[in-house]
């Protein structure tokens, strides 16, 4: 287990990668790639408004903006899943019915400010148990305490080097959307990955920055 408390996603990213490279356990993934992994990594970001991007993040600002745009507004491309659809248009097994989970979250917190039910999920067993590409992000939950918004996300699996930076900033933007609808401030973002990992062979050249 690894727990990090940092001001920003940038500082968390720059601390996370060396930790995994030094302390991670080598394993071979389901699709045959070598990685170093730390199970149950929890990262607390205490100033989610700081969206600065690390110079060591190989995909840069463009990837962060692209992920954020697709998360909040969707993509024209056709995938087995995309996070916007799963969060804003959660489908039934035949995709005949859709559920806007963010609308539910906002309404729930307006009705009951102390609710612990302001939860959005992405996994759909009717779809995801039988396909190759499945969501890494699983749960997004919000709590309001002392009239401030707290956001927690759970990933079943997270590519620390190529995905975490963009994932976290994009999800914070989602949290800020919820905060704006509630008229309060997002003050803390907590990112939990059951498997946080680095593909040290695939990304060996880019990892030299660390």
Asked if 93 contacts 147 with a C-beta cutoff of 8 angstroms, the reply is: no
- Candidate list 136, 139, 177, 206, residue with the active-site label: 136
Q: Give the closest residue to 155 by CA, choosing from 117, 106, 199, 190.
A: 190
Among this protein's residues, is 136 annotated catalytic?
Answer: yes
> Cβ of 69: how many Cβ atoms within 10 Å?
14
Q: Give the closest residue to 21 by CA, choosing from 42, 7, 2, 6.
A: 2
Find tokens 């087995």 and name the residue. Answer: 80
CA distance 198 to 210: 13
Dihedral sign (CA 98, 167, 41, 198): positive
Q: Which residues are catalytic?
A: 136
């Amino acid at each position: 287990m690894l727990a990090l408390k940092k001001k920003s996603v940038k500082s968390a990213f720059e601390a996370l990668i060396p930790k995994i490279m030094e302390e991670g356990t080598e394993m071979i993934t389901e699709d045959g790639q070598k990685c170093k992994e730390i199970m149950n990594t929890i990262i607390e970001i205490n100033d989610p408004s700081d969206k600065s991007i690390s110079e060591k993040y190989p995909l840069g600002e463009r990837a962060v903006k692209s992920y954020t745009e697709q998360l909040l507004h969707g993509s024209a491309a056709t995938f087995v899943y995309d996070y916007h659809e799963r969060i804003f248009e959660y489908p039934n097994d035949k995709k005949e019915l859709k559920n806007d989970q963010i609308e539910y979250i906002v309404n729930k917190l307006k009705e009951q400010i102390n609710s612990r039910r302001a939860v959005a999920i992405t996994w759909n067993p009717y779809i995801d148990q039988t396909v190759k590409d499945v969501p890494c992000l699983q749960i997004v939950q919000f709590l309001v305490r002392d009239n401030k918004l707290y956001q927690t996300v759970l990933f079943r699996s997270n590519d620390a080097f190529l995905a975490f930076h963009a994932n976290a900033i994009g999800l914070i933007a989602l949290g800020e959307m919820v905060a704006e609808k509630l008229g309060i401030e997002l003050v803390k973002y907590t990112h939990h990955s059951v498997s946080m990992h680095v593909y040290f062979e695939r990304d060996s050249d880019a990892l030299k920055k660390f």
